[in-house]
């Protein structure tokens, strides 16, 4: 697992061509299926309850943006929290 925090103000960050959503982007990049919130300790499941959230690694020199499936509630968090990997890198 890895510690992250949500990036806010990313609504303008458009989904790349060829993807219907950031959740679909994560699935394609990781080859996995989004079935549950990746936040450690969260039990929300069901793809319809998830969003492809923009996050940044905490305590790392890596300043890049990543996508990880989170529930609506965890997508709104302003603190730092742990998620399961993999993360999908948002291409610049």
Please report which residue ranges of 1-92 form alpha helices under DSSP H.
22-30, 72-75
SS (H, E, C) 50-74: EEEEEEEECCCCCCCEEEEEEEHHH
Is residue 83 at the binding interface for Zn ion, with CB under 5 A as the rule?
no
Taking CB under 5 A as the rule, which mask of x and - marks residues 27-56 in contact with Zn ion?
----------x-x--x-x------------
Is residue 7 at the binding interface for Zn ion, with CB under 5 A as the rule?
no
Q: Does 9 sit behind a cis peptide bond, omega within 30 degrees of 0 on the bond before it?
A: no
Is residue 74 at the binding interface for Zn ion, with CB under 5 A as the rule?
yes
Size of the site for Zn ion (CB under 5 A): 6
Closest to Zn ion by CB, 63 or 85 = 85
């Amino acid at each position: 697992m890895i510690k992250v925090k949500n990036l806010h103000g990313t609504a303008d960050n458009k989904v790349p061509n060829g993807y219907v959503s950031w959740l679909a982007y994560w699935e394609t990049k990781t080859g996995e299926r989004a079935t549950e919130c990746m936040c450690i300790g969260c039990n929300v499941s069901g793809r319809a309850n998830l969003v492809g959230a923009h996050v940044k690694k905490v305590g790392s020199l890596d300043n890049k943006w990543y996508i990880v499936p989170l529930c609506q509630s965890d997508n709104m968090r302003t603190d730092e929290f742990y998620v399961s990997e993999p993360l999908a890198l948002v291409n610049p």
